[in-house]
Structure 1
């Protein structure tokens, strides 16, 4: 059942993304996850608690989130399959659809390229600021383009490859449990003093869930781009994250760019190592090339899901 569900969810996402009308009326499931996480954080991540207590409460927050999300996914999947019989998988696919982000990621990154091509650097900074966490106000055209390409590569794993992996493996509870953990990591899985203890479990579990998908994403990007293998194997571990470096190094290798490097967050410069060889001078053309590779890499995921269905 997982394979037709995955293919249908991929098709719905590619065709429609998450429509604005739906977002206005019902929001997005990730928003519900964020409310649960923020509620727990407000109650339990208090500075007067010890480091150890906050770490335990962070673990408890993650458990509460997973029980609610995975439990609901399991119950809904079971209900649909039991009540609709042979057609239940279609309902499961519809519920899995918003967990994927092929279309929205493409649209967000393309918007950055369009602003650069139009000579609108201010607009490009605003567009890239919607998908990255770094400071963007002082970025030049090359910095904006590299930020968009890095986000595209990393989010190919977080937004497409990893959700699909867990959907194929564990169905609806698997894909939404992954999205819940990934949301928790983005909100509280940081190294700053406020989050270091409370967000520890979210960050570590997110690393675990992305371990295989990140490496798969790197391989698929290299296959889609017809190269980049040397940079992938050499530079994937230069990233601070144990996973994000794989798709970023693959994209850097395929495009012949240097990505990452020194980056400012909250007016503090972080001297991150460069990933890749060649120039750091990127622009709209490089974004277009990256998007082409991204589309091919997404199609390879479709082939994997289709191949799994054929083998079954």
Structure 2
């Protein structure tokens, strides 16, 4: 069996996540990547400059430097005799199994006790849409959509790139995904400068999104028809796959018209089931998510044995 770095990193993440006390003391590696992106964006994303070209240069600098730091860090821990266990510790912050679960669970808890204001505050921490006017069903659907989408970019994709490219591959992916979340937007300010970040993120998530959707269908025992039919109803070429899979498994309708900054975007529905999502549906989604994560463990184990 090859070094079980991926399995160990998954286990550490499930066991401890990224504790609040640790975040308060040292932050998170993604925060460092975000600061570099912010500095470059503030200097280069200006009128009169070749924004698309400078956006390409920005993503190249950020991804290459992140991968280089990861490679040097791996050499360092191996040089200290820490072996694959040390590498797993360096990979651990790039995964978010426990963190995602702990962000979604309070939404279900608040909805179950009829505390809509608390549920809205909880879901506002994981979605970008307006939440102040959401009813119980809207809050539940928003939480489920975020859970399904984040299963890809928070767990499946980092794990995929860890298996494919080792520690540098994982952290290069995190750099790409962070850049997309910060600058890969369609608004006028970001359209040209963030073009490269958005396109590269689409490419990096292409395989993991489809693998993640299949795992959700397997974990949920269904959802295949909705996944194949509605995956392309999402504006993203990737996010719709895991959302459609989850909508099919839970027999819900997700996505649809969504308000951002007071403006309603008339997005198509994903799925053809109920609109009346509830706390029970969020809990069911979390159970499916947990089983899908377990399947990723199996894949990581198979990859270790096969290599």
TM-score category of the 2 structures, normalised to the smaller one: over 0.9
The alpha-carbon deviation at position 40 of structure 1 amounts to: 0.7
User: 1:222-233, aligned counterparts within 5 Å?
Assistant: 222-233=217-228
Alignment partner of 2:111 out of 110, 116, 119: 116
Distance 1:198 1:281 in 2: 40
Alignment partner of 1:267 out of 256, 262, 279: 262
User: 1:24-103, aligned counterparts within 5 Å?
Assistant: 24-49=24-49, 53-84=50-81, 87-103=82-98
1:58-101 per-position Cα deviation (integer Å, ceiling 9, x unaligned): 111111101210000111112322441xx411111001001000
Q: Mark the runs of 5 or more structure 1 residues left unpaired by the alignment.
A: none
Distance 2:55 2:180 in 1: 11
Specify the alignment match of 1:17 in structure 2. 17
TM-score, scaled relative to structure 2: 0.98
Distance 1:171 1:234 in 2: 34
1:251-304 per-position Cα deviation (integer Å, ceiling 9, x unaligned): 000000000000011111100000001111101000000000000000000000
The answer as to 2:184 corresponding to 1:189 is yes
Counterpart of 1:174 in 2: which secondary structure? helix
Specify the alignment match of 2:240 in structure 1. 245
Distance 1:39 1:5 in 2: 33
Q: Is the 8 A contact 1:3 1:305 kept in 2?
A: no
The answer as to 2:154 corresponding to 1:159 is yes
* More deviation, 62-71/153-162: 62-71
The answer as to 2:231 corresponding to 1:218 is no
Distance 1:130 1:177 in 2: 25
Alignment partner of 1:286 out of 261, 276, 281: 281
Q: Is the 8 A contact 1:236 1:248 kept in 2?
A: yes
User: 1:287-306, aligned counterparts within 5 Å?
Assistant: 287-306=282-301
Q: Is the 8 A contact 2:2 2:305 kept in 1?
A: no
Distance 2:7 2:125 in 1: 28
1:146-165 per-position Cα deviation (integer Å, ceiling 9, x unaligned): 00000000000000000000
Specify the alignment match of 2:6 in structure 1. 6
Q: Is the 8 A contact 1:2 1:171 kept in 2?
A: no
Q: Is the 8 A contact 2:3 2:84 kept in 1?
A: no
**Stretches of 4+ aligned residues off by more than 3 angstroms:** none
Counterpart of 1:246 in 2: which secondary structure? helix
The alpha-carbon deviation at position 2 of structure 1 amounts to: 7.0
The answer as to 2:133 corresponding to 1:138 is yes
1:229-268 per-position Cα deviation (integer Å, ceiling 9, x unaligned): 0000000011100000000000000000000000011111
Q: Is the 8 A contact 2:230 2:271 kept in 1?
A: yes
Q: Is the 8 A contact 1:3 1:306 kept in 2?
A: no
The alpha-carbon deviation at position 310 of structure 1 amounts to: 2.4
1:14-59 per-position Cα deviation (integer Å, ceiling 9, x unaligned): 011101111011100011011001111110001233xxx1001111
Q: Is the 8 A contact 1:121 1:140 kept in 2?
A: yes
Distance 2:280 2:77 in 1: 46
Counterpart of 1:128 in 2: which secondary structure? helix
Counterpart of 1:278 in 2: which secondary structure? coil
Distance 2:298 2:22 in 1: 29
TM-score, scaled relative to structure 1: 0.96
